[in-house]
Amino acid sequence: MTSPQPNTAAPAEAAKRVNLFNLDLAAMQYYFASVGEKPFRAQQVIKWIHQQGIRDLDAMTNLSKSLRDTLKQTTCMDIPEIALEHASKDGTYKWLLRLKEGNCIEAVYIPEGDRGTLCVSSQVGCALNCSFCATGAQGFNRDLSTAEIIGQVWQAQHSLLKNGLGKVTNVVMMGMGEPLLNFDNVLRAMNLMVNDFAYGLSKYKVTLSTSGLVPKMYELRDKSDVALAVSLHAPNDELRNELVPLNKKYPLKVLLQACKDYFKDKTGKRYVTMEYVMLDGVNDTPTHARQLITILQGIPAKVNLIPFNPFPNTKYKRSSPEAIDRFRQILMKSGLNTMTRKTRGDDIDAACGQLAGDFKDRTRRRERNEKAAIDGHSRT
Ligand code: SAH
Ligand code: SF4
């Protein structure tokens, strides 16, 4: 796997400390080499931080005292701190994590049998404005750093382990934000998730979800091996333009070709997960199901139906269980592997598309939407 160029500041500048949480193995090796240390120090430090959950340099006993002193003067280990933790009745956990400037992001843990899935955010808000998404409706503030992304995994993992509540076995980049718009930071964080010295998760169990940023999907294919989910949500361009505005730039034809190409030269049979949010009367009829079958022909795809999760002021409603089941049956009959996602964490607003955090919206979208609602126009 490749790594983006490490973003390491000159270690001599005490004011510009290197945040060790920003470094994947390659970047950490580069960093240690740049300060005259052996590359294996990188493995040792990554193990301490990510495997053992240690943020105290003095506890890193296999490093010499002088190296620890140097690291104390030149590095830091800053990640978002837990502001609030919510436990749902169904075992789902949601953490509100505070960033340095005061904005908050959310991460969610969903246990199911021997699996524990963590849903991680990649940005504060999202600029893409999908019409059915609470994050999109809130606007965009900024990208998260690698430290802030992997810091969500660190906080969740070590808080769960400490309290005997389970363990992160799967990560989905399905929290706030479009991960492919924050490519380098997300890639470094995912490299740590699958690295055996860090979290050691299988490449099949780390999933990036994108609304369809086609050029970056090809870049991801070349630089990583993780699983891919695509937020499809509509079987034709007209409807998809309305639901996922990014479709106007990368329409279904090019998006589906990118899906076809994603696992083409990889070993083993792998499938792209097509996410499809079920919106009552909008995209959930048998005609839509049949169109979906047609466009997915020849693509190694499985389908994940997501019952819409409502949020304040949305114009959409969740499809009825009958409509969802009928849709699923039609797809299954055509041979498409189709699952309906269980909604979890409903009582703590922890479901897909409900993560909103608490942040200043630089795009002023909230204001514009409120004004449009007052003027009687639809949302923008
Ligand atoms: N930006 C990325 C990843 C974050 S969204 C993407 O769009 O894929 C994660 C998933 O939640 C996406 O499939 C998204 O379409 C879905 N989602 C967003 N809002 C939702 C809502 N209100 N109800 C159900 N799913 C939603
Ligand atoms: Fe952004 Fe994904 Fe929400 Fe669309 S669905 S607004 S891409 S977070």
Instruction: Provide the pLDDT for residue 354.
Output: 55
Residue 14 has pLDDT above 50, yes or no: no
The average confidence (pLDDT) of the chain is: 90
User: Residue 79's CB: how many other CB atoms inside 10 A?
Assistant: 24
Q: What is the average per-residue pLDDT within 262-285?
A: 92
For this structure, is 106 an active site residue? Answer: yes
Distance from the alpha carbon of residue 70 to the mean position of ligand 2, in angstroms: 42
Task: Please answer whether residues 57 and 72 qualify as being in contact, where contact means their C-beta atoms are separated by less than 8 angstroms.
Answer: yes
Q: Say yes or no: CB of residue 211 within 6 Å of ligand 2.
A: yes
The alpha carbon of residue 6 and the mean position of all alpha carbons in its chain are separated, in whole angstroms, by 21
Q: Of how many residues is the chain composed?
A: 380
Separation of CA 79 and ligand 2 centre (Å) = 24
Token pair, residue 253, equals: 């034809």
Q: Which helix (H) or strand (E) holds 98?
A: strand 93-98
* pTM as predicted: 0.91
Is 352 a known active-site residue? yes
Query: Is residue 269 over pLDDT 90?
Result: no
Q: 210 CA to middle of ligand 1, Å?
A: 9
pLDDT in tens, 61-73: 999 999 999 999 9
Model pLDDT for residues 205-221, shown as the tens digit of each residue? 999 999 999 999 999 99
Ligand nearest to the CA of 174: 1
Which of 236, 235, 237, 230 is closest to 274 using CA atoms? 230
| Ramachandran bin of 250, using left for φ above 0, alpha for ψ from -120 to 50, beta for the remaining angles | beta
Which numbered atom of ligand 1 lies nearest the CA of 178? 1
Residue written as token pair 């049979």: 269
Report pLDDT digits (tens) over 226-236. 999 999 999 99
To test the pocket of ligand 2, the residue of 119, 129, 130 to mutate (highest count of ligand atoms within 8 Å of its CB) is: 130
Which helix (H) or strand (E) segment holds residue 266: the answer is none
